[in-house]
Amino acid sequence: MRNFLKLLFSLTILVSFLFFCLYLPKIGLGVQEKLKEASFYQKLDNKILQCLLCPRRCVIADKKRGFCGVRENRDGILYTLVYAKPCAIHIDPIEKKPLFHFLPSTSAFSIATAGCNLKCKFCQNWQISQAKPEEVDYIYLEPSDLVKRAKDSASPTIAYTYTEPTIFYEYMLDIAKLAKKQGLRNIMHSAGHINEEPLRQLCKYLDAANIDLKGFSEKYYNEMSLGNLDSVLKTLKILKEEGLWLEITNLILPGYNDDEDTIIKMCLWIKENLGADVPLHFSRFWPMYKLTALNPTPIETLEKARKIAMDCGLKYVYIGNVPGIEAENTYCPKCKKVIIRRSGYTILEINLEDGKCKFCGEKIAGIWH
């Protein structure tokens, strides 16, 4: 009898263990297999496919994935492996995106899935951006359910952010369509490494974007991100053409993209191709991912870059990742008084009346309501 009870106990433990390993993760992590066919690809010979979503144009053999790790060829059909599987959901201040001239002091219902189509050595979200879908925890959330959650949160905006929204394109697009019908706005924080056709289709449902312009040379992009500059510059031009509110972030890495000539070229390009009203955020680097031995960006370097940008004629230039610095405030380009005073992501003061400076009446570029 005692041996029987021991055997029964052992079997109970074994069954419980198998239940935990094989069943519970599928509930708790949302490993529900509901694949969606990817958009923007073409079929080649022998079940080989070519993805046309981003400039990499990956040629993918059967049972293989593209560079991003989230688009897989299964028997000659390309599937997205992250549809309805967000691994990050947060309610953030809109200023965190960063968007400083778009609905200030409001919140953004922010989401991401695993994966990225770049390999930035300085990525701050590398745990999810450089992970495969099966390597991260996520929940299963259909677009309609996500939009409902966003509305329940009282956030006026849904943000596609943290990783690279391009790689969860189908999910983002379906959410954005529903959100727009529900009166919500859509924004993305992206590296801009996307092809023209999918971008223009997405732009029909986007209201604003912040694009990481990581550097201003092909050499920098190739070495630090495994990407290319021309594709990002084209994205910036398209976003401007399509009428989205646009802001740009440039992360300055000491010794890599902080020389004066490069910053001047970048700022002049922005002014000539996008306009002087486009806000530019110079962001401070902190040791991260594969660059933990690199020192943080000196504040003096950021202040110098900001002065260069303003001398080039850009009206709204900010310094990010340095809480409390005066350069995180918005100043009127005419009377130089503070229009929006910030402390980190907190808005302390807004001096706007109908989109104009309260003090001198100068129109301040942005979307304010």
Q: CATH code at 154?
A: 3.20.20.70
Q: What is the pTM of this model?
A: 0.91
* Confidence grade of residue 138 (pLDDT, cut at 50, 70, 90): very high
| Mean pLDDT calculated for residue range 103-120 | 98
In a domain, 133, yes or no: yes
Closest CA to 227 of 286, 164, 290, 159: 164
Closest CA to 260 of 309, 223, 222, 220: 309
pLDDT at 151: 98
Q: How many CA atoms lie within 13 A of 354 on its CB side?
A: 3
Give me the chain's average pLDDT, please.
92
Parallel, antiparallel, or unpaired for β 185-190 and 338-343? Answer: unpaired
In a domain, 35, yes or no: no
In a domain, 361, yes or no: no
Give dist(CA 355, CA 244) in Å, integer. 17
E strand intervals along 191-240: 208-212
Q: Report the percentage of the chain scoring pLDDT > 70.
A: 91
Question: Is the separation of the CB atoms in 81 and 37 below 8 Å?
Answer: no
pLDDT at 74: 98
Q: Above 70 in pLDDT, residue 25?
A: no
* Confidence grade of residue 319 (pLDDT, cut at 50, 70, 90): very high
Give dist(CA 240, CA 208) in Å, integer. 10
Give dist(CA 190, CA 164) in Å, integer. 6
Burial class (CB in 10 A: 0-12, 13-18, 19+), 23: exposed
Q: How many CA atoms lie within 13 A of 312 on its CB side?
A: 27
289-315 pLDDT, tens per residue? Answer: 999 999 999 999 999 999 999 999 999
- Residue where the block lists tokens 């449902």: 205
Q: Above 70 in pLDDT, residue 76?
A: yes
Q: Above 90 in pLDDT, residue 118?
A: yes
| Mean pLDDT calculated for residue range 27-34 | 49
pLDDT at 82: 98
* Confidence grade of residue 33 (pLDDT, cut at 50, 70, 90): low
Closest CA to 305 of 365, 245, 250, 241: 250
Q: Quick one: tokens of 211?
A: 């694009």
DSSP assignment letter at 267: H
Q: 134 to each of 131, 140, 170, 292, how far by Cα in Å?
A: 8, 13, 18, 26
* Confidence grade of residue 34 (pLDDT, cut at 50, 70, 90): confident
The string of DSSP letters for 129-158 reads HTS-GGGS------HHHHHHHHHHTT-SEE
Residue type, 340: I
Q: Above 70 in pLDDT, residue 18?
A: no
Closest CA to 300 of 277, 270, 322, 280: 322
| Mean pLDDT calculated for residue range 219-240 | 98
Q: 63 to each of 27, 66, 69, 85, 321, how far by Cα in Å?
A: 26, 10, 12, 21, 42
Domains: count for the chain: 1
In a domain, 93, yes or no: yes
* Confidence grade of residue 282 (pLDDT, cut at 50, 70, 90): very high
320-364 pLDDT, tens per residue? Answer: 999 899 999 999 999 999 999 999 999 999 999 999 999 999 999
In a domain, 1, yes or no: no
> Ramachandran region of residue 226, left (φ > 0), alpha (ψ -120 to 50) or beta?
left
71-74 β-sheet, strand order: 36-37, 77-80, 71-74
In a domain, 158, yes or no: yes
Q: Which residues form the domain of 319?
A: 88-328
Parallel, antiparallel, or unpaired for β 208-212 and 245-252? Answer: parallel
Question: Is the separation of the CB atoms in 284 and 319 below 8 Å?
Answer: yes
| Mean pLDDT calculated for residue range 10-14 | 37
| Mean pLDDT calculated for residue range 92-110 | 98
Q: Above 70 in pLDDT, residue 73?
A: yes
Q: Above 90 in pLDDT, residue 38?
A: yes
| Mean pLDDT calculated for residue range 77-89 | 98
In a domain, 103, yes or no: yes
188-204 pLDDT, tens per residue? Answer: 999 999 999 999 999 99
In a domain, 225, yes or no: yes
